[in-house]
Structure 1
Amino acid sequence: MDAEAQTKGKGSDAKVTAQERPLKGAWLMTGLLFLFMLINFADKVVVGLAARPIMQELQLTPQEFGLLGSSFFFLFAVSAVVVGFLTNRIHARRTLLAMAIVWSLVQFPMLATVNLEVLMACRIILGAGEGPAAPVATHAIYKWFPDSLRGLPTAIIAQGSALGVIVAVPTLNWIIVHHSWHWAFGALGVAGLVWAVLWLAFGREGTLVDRPASPHGNGHVPYRYLITCPSIVAVSCTCFATYWGLSLGLTWFTSYLIQGLGYSQAVAGNLTILPWIFGLCVVLSGGWLSQRLTRAGVSSRIARGIFPAATVILGGCLMPLVGSMPSPAAKLAVLVIGSAIGSTIYVVIPMIVSELTPQSQRAGMLAITNSFVTVAGVLAPLVMGNFIQNAASPVAGYEHGYVIMGLLMIAGGLIGVLFIRPEADRARLVAHAARTAGMRPAQA
């Protein structure tokens, strides 16, 4: 009997795999989507990297710059949900291409002289274009890998974000120092257009379909049950707390190194890659370990719940110590480790959502959870900006903000440890799917 049984998916010629292996070409798609996320996060970090020259040229207060940092996320969540549900119905290949083109074109107005309003408008449009990126890219790659093999490709795509910073920051910082921050935006626009050409040439749609939630079919589950599922709610809360720190890193980290620790723009810009290098190591090793535990038969509660949530708690315990460190180097080390050590949660959140959601609803649910998580991106830069402007000194404002971040991470991590229980929640959702199909729960 053939290892792959053909089945007709809704609107596609998909395959349900009867064996645990990726489809041919899966790693090429992983590489392209890795580059997609690399450019995505380079776009995000450029404002934070150029914080001081932008604030000086446009004469912005900390509150105004915090508003600029938050503006990127104003339409981020809404766009993610709309495009996520759209991608339930059309090929992810098309939505990925459209996003990349939007990112690219919106960078070029910054080559001219701009004011705060124009810069904010471009960042809002960019955020709308980038909001669906992570959920759609994850949904796309899950059409190439079965559930038990998704840990590593998820980690690789997630760490397109880290390498986007690690690779792009030295180049962008050199452009900022030797030319201007305007040309850094233009370089990112060119990079986005190059990726769009590569995707047109080589991008493909995967044909792998997950096994249905029940033996009676894919079993649509009402969204009210998915949105209120304890494991999905808990992992979203844990990731929200971690994303708070990521948002501060994107907007305020370089500024803290300059204004708070006394580094120059050239040195601070290059040091900006440190949290991302550490985070890259954490995510790749954490994603690999989570996948290894899953394949060894360890429960999802441990491999995808307790393990990553505990690292978020650890990071939260470190963050309040930043202000008490005796030297700039020690402050930097604690900040880097504390903010990045919980990064494995970015790998497990899409795997938990995928584990609990029928494939026909997966893109939409990934978008919903991503939208909730990224609300932290709206709040965190504004809160930090207010702390900096209203504190006795800018340094005190930064360090007060990091204490709040630590407390959020501890709370989010505890929620994850206590309430991420995928096996139990999957059983309940299978029963809901059976009832939706007009069957008794016991039949499922």
Structure 2
Amino acid sequence: MAPTTLKSSSRASATPTPKGAWKMTFLLFLFMLVNFADKIVVGLAGVPIMTELNLDAGQFGLLGSAFFLLFSIAAIVVGFIVNKVPTRWVLLVLALIWAVAQFPMVGTVGFTTLLICRIILGAGEGPAASVAVHAVYKWFPDEKRAMPTAILSQGSAFGVILAVPALNWVIVNYSWHHAFGVLGVVGLVWSAAWLWLGREGPLGDIELAGVREQRVPYLQLLTSRTFVGCVASTFGAYWALSLGLTWFTPFLVKGLGFSQQQAGLISILPWIFGACVVLTTGWLSQMLMARGVSTRVARGVLGAMPLMIGGVLMAVTPHVDAASAKIALLVVGSGLCGSIYVVCPPMIGEFTPVAQRGAAIAIYGALYTLAGIIAPFVMGKMIQASGSLMDGYMAGYTVNAVIMVISGLLGMALLWPDTERARLQARQGAAPEFA
């Protein structure tokens, strides 16, 4: 018997894309759309919630952070589950949890109830992105995964672009309570559609049947240079994202003086720009790989460089006076972070055996989303501690800028996916299949 090896080089694959792959991609895009609509509603309704429940900035920051309290733990647990259980059923359970967690807010609630519901929602949403990516990778060979990954990432952007005007209209004309109820109904509708149309991709089984993979010890996977680089770089991007979800709309209303209706419209701008960044990154990455460019450049550099540029732009924000200039810098700076989400899951997939991919991507997601626990709370405390509201916001965004630049630099130094597989093979030598 020939020695067992890690999976063969992704670009050597000649596996065709199965029929129905793009239909499943679209359903998973809608899954991520609902996911981010659920995330954005607290930030969008931040001022009405703070007013009705009499919350200060520290309490509201805690509310934003509470969403991520069980986020990472749930992501890791479910990541190992999807190594054994079909993603079709896991996705259905997650979506049902989201829907059920929204309905208590339809009635009169206190801060504690809202906090608990957001913690439960976060536990249900923590595994979402990694499970969706793992599911879609069962429909596409490695060299064709950048664009589907970009489309899934667009679920987050369109979840905000479409949900913000609709939910803001509900908030302005009815109340923030009704906005939560609408999201609960939408979650149930997606669940019904997935139960009817959702299918498990065939390529995971084909890949496993085509080569008897070695199982790489998780310690080697999780301490590999590229895995660490993916976590470090995406951590900075997610810091910006979690601030956008929680604090951007309140900043527009309380910091810059816009009305709730105006702030709702402005709040979609980072996501529109981010959508363009993500789709461009996905297209450019696949084009470069098709031309033989290494994944170090086509994925690693392409993801890390925009993160650094975005951090530099965000650092300029406190030093401009015009509200329009501040908004533009925050929009472009945070939007450039989108590139890293497109390239990191495929990079991890390059050197991770198929049987371990679900858990590896989930652990990656669980680690970088720890930024979501810290960032909203830090911003709230900075606002409370500062002499003025604007000074507090600018201090918080400056911290964000520094973290983005450092994360981008770490990505540039550590993201070498095209050499990671060979390094792992060399460390294993000709050892038999790992348990």
Q: TM-score, normalization: structure 2?
A: 0.95
1:205 aligned counterpart, secondary structure: coil
Q: Which amino acid aligns with 2:293?
A: V
2:289 aligned counterpart, secondary structure: helix
The aligned residue for residue 277 of structure 1 is 272
- Which consecutive unaligned segments of at least 5 residues does structure 2 have? 1-11
The aligned residue for residue 195 of structure 2 is 200
Provide Cα deviations, 1:288-313, integer angstroms capped at 9, x if missing partner: 10111112111111111112101100
The farther-off stretch of 153-162 and 201-210 is 201-210
The farther-off stretch of 421-430 and 136-145 is 421-430
In the alignment, is residue 353 of structure 1 matched against residue 348 of structure 2? yes
Q: Which amino acid aligns with 2:53?
A: L
Which of residues 282, 285, 289 is equivalent to 1:290?
285
In the alignment, is residue 177 of structure 1 matched against residue 172 of structure 2? yes
The aligned residue for residue 240 of structure 1 is 235
Residue pairs, 1:20-99, within 5 angstroms: 20-99=15-94
In the alignment, is residue 124 of structure 1 matched against residue 119 of structure 2? yes
Provide Cα deviations, 1:14-46, integer angstroms capped at 9, x if missing partner: xxx962431100000000000000000000000
- Whether the aligned pair in 2 keeps the contact of 1:210 and 1:359 (CA below 8 Å) is no
The aligned residue for residue 394 of structure 2 is 399
1:246 aligned counterpart, secondary structure: helix
- State the Cα RMSD in Å: 1.7
Counterpart CA distance in 2 for 1:229 and 1:417 is: 15
The aligned residue for residue 260 of structure 1 is 255
2:338 aligned counterpart, secondary structure: coil
Counterpart CA distance in 1 for 2:250 and 2:199 is: 41
Counterpart CA distance in 2 for 1:436 and 1:344 is: 37
- Whether the aligned pair in 1 keeps the contact of 2:348 and 2:417 (CA below 8 Å) is no
Deviation at 1:102, TM superposition (A): 0.5
The aligned residue for residue 103 of structure 2 is 108
Change (3 A) 1:205 1:137: same
Provide Cα deviations, 1:171-214, integer angstroms capped at 9, x if missing partner: 0000001100000000000000000010011000001038879x
- Whether the aligned pair in 2 keeps the contact of 1:220 and 1:433 (CA below 8 Å) is no
- Which consecutive unaligned segments of at least 5 residues does structure 1 have? 1-16, 440-444
Q: Which amino acid aligns with 1:116?
A: F
Deviation at 1:217, TM superposition (A): 2.2
Counterpart CA distance in 2 for 1:272 and 1:133 is: 23
Counterpart CA distance in 2 for 1:438 and 1:409 is: 39
Deviation at 1:103, TM superposition (A): 0.3
In the alignment, is residue 363 of structure 1 matched against residue 358 of structure 2? yes
Deviation at 1:435, TM superposition (A): 4.7
In the alignment, is residue 312 of structure 1 matched against residue 313 of structure 2? no
Counterpart CA distance in 1 for 2:431 and 2:95 is: 38
Q: Which amino acid aligns with 2:35?
A: N
Counterpart CA distance in 2 for 1:169 and 1:77 is: 26
Using the aligned pairs only, state the percent identity.
Answer: 52
Counterpart CA distance in 2 for 1:435 and 1:117 is: 56
- Whether the aligned pair in 2 keeps the contact of 1:258 and 1:268 (CA below 8 Å) is yes
- Whether the aligned pair in 2 keeps the contact of 1:146 and 1:210 (CA below 8 Å) is no
Deviation at 1:337, TM superposition (A): 0.3
Counterpart CA distance in 2 for 1:228 and 1:370 is: 15
Counterpart CA distance in 2 for 1:278 and 1:437 is: 48
- Whether the aligned pair in 1 keeps the contact of 2:303 and 2:342 (CA below 8 Å) is no
Counterpart CA distance in 2 for 1:211 and 1:337 is: 41
Deviation at 1:218, TM superposition (A): 1.1
- Whether the aligned pair in 1 keeps the contact of 2:149 and 2:342 (CA below 8 Å) is yes
